[in-house]
C-alpha cells in the first residue's frame, strides 16, 4: 500500500483553512494542522487569540487530525511589525500580509513542515500552483475565483518551495460552496465571518498602533500645494497616504488629494485628483518566480495594489537590480511601500516594492 504524503496545513480558525483540511483528507493526504501564534493574545485581535486557537483545535478534533501551535511572535515582530513601523516612519505605506506570507506562512511554516517530515505545506489562500510547460517549472497562478484571488500577496514567496505548496481552494468560485462543505461536516466555523482588518491591529486603527509602538515624528507641519502655497497644518505625516482625500481638514476651490509626502520637509503635498495619476514607477526588492532575474525589457500585465485592475506595462531591468515599470495607461495613486505585481496571463511572474 502506498504511503500517504504528509502535509502541514496552516489553520487560522476560519472556514477557509478548515475546509482546506477536509479537501486534503479527501485527496488522500495525511494532514497535520498548525496555528501560528504571531502577536500578543487579544480577544479583539485576529492574529492569535484563545478563540482562534480553540476553533482550529476543535476542527482538527472533528476531522481526527493532529493540531499544533507554533510560537512565531519573535519572528513576526522582526519581519512584519518592525517593517510595518519602519515603512511608515519613512513616509511609505506597507502591506504587512506580503511580509507575513514570505517569512512566516511560507517561510517558518515550511521549515516546521520539514521538521515534521511533511512533503507539503498548505493554506486556505485562493491561488494555484501548477506546472507550466511554458516556463518548464511549477508556477503560482491566479485562483479560479478571480473575485477572491490572492495571488497578489503571494508574489514574494521563495520560488524554490512552489512544488511543495498546496492550495486546496484554488478551484472554488465562491464562498457559499466552502461554507456548504463545512456544514456537511458539522464544523463549528461554518458560519464564521471573514476577517478584513490588518490582523495585528485591533479595529484596523493603524494610527493608534503607530503611536503606541512606533517612534514617529508627530510634529505638525504644513499642508501645501505643489507651488508651495500653504493651506493648513497636518498632524504628523504618518497619518497620510498618497491619494487620500478624507481627513485633510483644509478647504480649497476644488477637491484636494494627497499627491506627495515630503518626509525631509515634514510636508503633505496636495492637489487636484489628476495630479495623483502617473504611468511609471521604480520597483525595488524584486522577486521573480519564473526566472532568476530580468535580462531585458519585456511587456507583462501589472497592478499596483491588491484591489487594482491590471494594465499592460513595459518592465525594464536597471543596473542596481531594481526595475522600471511604464504603464500604457496612467495609474491612480501609485504609492511607495505598496507592491507592483507582474502577470503573464494568469501566471504570477513576480513583483517588487514601489520605491
pLDDT tens digits for 216-229?
767 899 999 999 99
CB contact at 8 A, 7 and 121: yes
| Type and span of the H or E element at 208 | helix 206-213
Task: Inform me whether the pLDDT recorded for 1 exceeds 50.
Answer: no
Phi, psi of 69 (to 5 degrees): -115, 125
| Whether CATH 3.40.50.2000 fits 6-124+168-203 | no
Residue with the three cell numbers 480553540: 54
Task: Inform me whether the pLDDT recorded for 8 exceeds 80.
Answer: yes
Comparing 216 with 63, which gets the higher pLDDT? 63
Task: Inform me whether the pLDDT recorded for 184 exceeds 70.
Answer: yes
- CA gap 102, 349 in Å, rounded: 16
195-199, 251-255, 331-335: which range is least confident on average?
Answer: 195-199
Q: What is the DSSP string of 94-106?
A: --HHHHHIIIIII
71-75, 195-199, 227-231, 247-251: which range is least confident on average?
Answer: 195-199
- CA gap 339, 130 in Å, rounded: 23
Predicted confidence band of residue 297 (pLDDT cuts 50, 70, 90): very high
Cα angle 194, 200, 204 (rounded to 5 degrees) comes to 70
Cell of 15: 472556514
Q: What is the CATH number of domain 277-354?
A: 2.40.30.10
Q: Is 44 helix (H, G, I), strand (E, B) or coil?
A: coil
Q: Is 177 helix (H, G, I), strand (E, B) or coil?
A: helix
Residue with the three cell numbers 507651488: 227
What is the homologous superfamily of the domain 217-271 according to CATH? Adenine nucleotide alpha hydrolases-like domains (2.30.30.280)
- CA gap 112, 118 in Å, rounded: 9
Of the CA atoms within 13 Å of residue 207, those in its CB half-sphere come to 9
CB contact at 8 A, 313 and 118: no
pTM: 0.93
Task: Inform me whether the pLDDT recorded for 47 exceeds 80.
Answer: no
Phi, psi of 213 (to 5 degrees): -105, -20
Strand ranges, E, within the chain: 6-10, 30-37, 67-71, 120-122, 127-132, 137-142, 165-166, 221-225, 230-234, 257-262, 267-271, 277-288, 298-303, 311-317, 323-332, 339-344, 347-354
Residues in the chain: 355
* Mean pLDDT, residues 10-31: 95
* Mean pLDDT, residues 302-313: 96
| Per-residue model confidence (pLDDT) at position 46 | 54
Over the chain, what is the mean pLDDT? Answer: 92
46-50, 132-136, 207-211, 241-245: which range is least confident on average?
Answer: 46-50
| Type and span of the H or E element at 18 | helix 15-26
Comparing 190 with 102, which gets the higher pLDDT? 102
* Mean pLDDT, residues 79-108: 95
Report which of 94, 98, 117 is spatially closest to residue 8, judged by C-alpha positions. 117
Task: Inform me whether the pLDDT recorded for 41 exceeds 70.
Answer: no
* Mean pLDDT, residues 315-325: 96
Cα angle 145, 151, 154 (rounded to 5 degrees) comes to 150
| Per-residue model confidence (pLDDT) at position 53 | 83
| Per-residue model confidence (pLDDT) at position 54 | 86
* Mean pLDDT, residues 303-317: 96
Residues 6+ apart with CB under 8 A from 109: 8, 10, 34, 36, 70, 121
CB contact at 8 A, 14 and 189: yes
- CA gap 94, 85 in Å, rounded: 9
- CA gap 351, 339 in Å, rounded: 7
| Type and span of the H or E element at 28 | none
- CA gap 225, 6 in Å, rounded: 59
* Mean pLDDT, residues 54-59: 91
* Mean pLDDT, residues 8-16: 93
The domains of the chain are located at 6-124+168-203, 217-271, 277-354
- CA gap 262, 266 in Å, rounded: 6
Residues 6+ apart with CB under 8 A from 243: 257, 258, 276, 332, 333, 335
CB contact at 8 A, 109 and 100: no
Task: Inform me whether the pLDDT recorded for 43 exceeds 50.
Answer: no
Residues belonging to the active site: 100, 199
Task: Inform me whether the pLDDT recorded for 13 exceeds 80.
Answer: yes
Q: For residue 180, what is the DSSP state?
A: H
Amino acid at each position: 500500500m502506498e504511503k500517504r504524503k504528509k502535509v502541514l496545513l496552516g489553520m487560522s480558525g476560519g472556514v477557509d483553512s478548515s475546509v482546506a483540511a477536509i479537501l486534503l483528507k479527501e485527496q488522500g493526504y495525511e494532514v497535520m494542522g498548525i496555528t501560528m501564534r504571531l502577536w500578543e493574545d487579544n480577544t479583539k485581535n485576529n492574529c492569535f487569540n484563545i478563540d482562534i486557537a480553540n476553533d482550529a483545535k476543535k476542527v482538527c478534533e472533528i476531522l481526527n487530525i493532529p493540531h499544533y501551535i507554533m510560537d512565531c511572535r519573535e519572528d513576526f515582530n522582526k519581519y512584519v511589525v518592525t517593517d510595518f513601523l519602519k515603512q511608515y516612519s519613512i513616509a511609505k505605506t506597507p502591506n504587512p500580509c506580503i511580509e507575513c506570507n514570505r517569512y512566516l506562512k511560507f517561510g517558518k511554516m515550511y521549515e516546521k513542515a520539514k521538521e515534521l517530515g511533511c512533503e507539503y505545506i498548505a493554506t486556505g489562500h485562493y491561488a494555484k500552483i501548477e506546472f507550466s510547460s511554458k516556463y518548464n517549472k511549477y508556477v503560482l497562478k491566479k485562483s479560479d475565483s478571480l473575485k477572491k484571488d490572492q495571488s497578489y500577496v503571494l508574489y514574494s514567496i521563495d520560488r524554490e518551495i512552489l512544488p511543495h505548496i498546496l492550495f486546496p481552494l484554488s478551484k472554488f468560485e465562491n464562498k457559499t460552496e466552502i461554507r456548504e462543505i463545512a456544514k456537511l461536516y458539522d464544523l463549528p466555523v461554518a458560519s464564521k465571518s471573514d476577517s478584513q482588518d490588518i490582523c495585528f491591529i485591533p479595529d484596523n486603527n493603524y494610527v493608534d498602533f503607530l503611536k503606541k509602538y512606533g517612534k514617529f515624528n508627530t510634529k505638525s507641519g504644513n499642508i501645501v500645494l505643489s507651488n508651495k502655497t500653504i493651506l493648513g497644518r497636518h498632524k504628523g505625516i504618518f497619518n497620510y497616504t498618497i491619494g487620500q482625500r478624507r481627513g485633510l481638514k483644509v478647504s480649497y476651490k476644488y477637491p484636494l488629494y494627497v499627491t506627495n509626502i515630503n518626509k525631509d520637509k515634514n510636508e503633505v503635498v496636495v492637489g487636484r485628483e489628476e495630479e495623483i495619476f502617473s504611468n511609471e514607477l521604480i520597483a525595488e526588492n524584486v522577486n521573480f518566480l519564473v526566472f532568476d532575474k530580468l535580462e531585458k525589457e519585456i511587456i507583462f500585465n501589472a497592478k499596483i495594489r491588491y484591489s487594482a485592475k491590471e494594465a499592460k506595462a513595459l518592465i525594464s531591468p536597471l543596473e542596481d537590480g531594481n526595475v522600471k515599470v511604464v504603464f500604457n495607461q496612467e495609474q491612480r495613486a501609485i504609492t511607495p511601500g505598496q507592491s507592483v505585481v507582474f502577470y503573464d496571463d494568469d501566471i504570477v511572474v513576480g513583483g517588487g516594492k514601489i520605491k
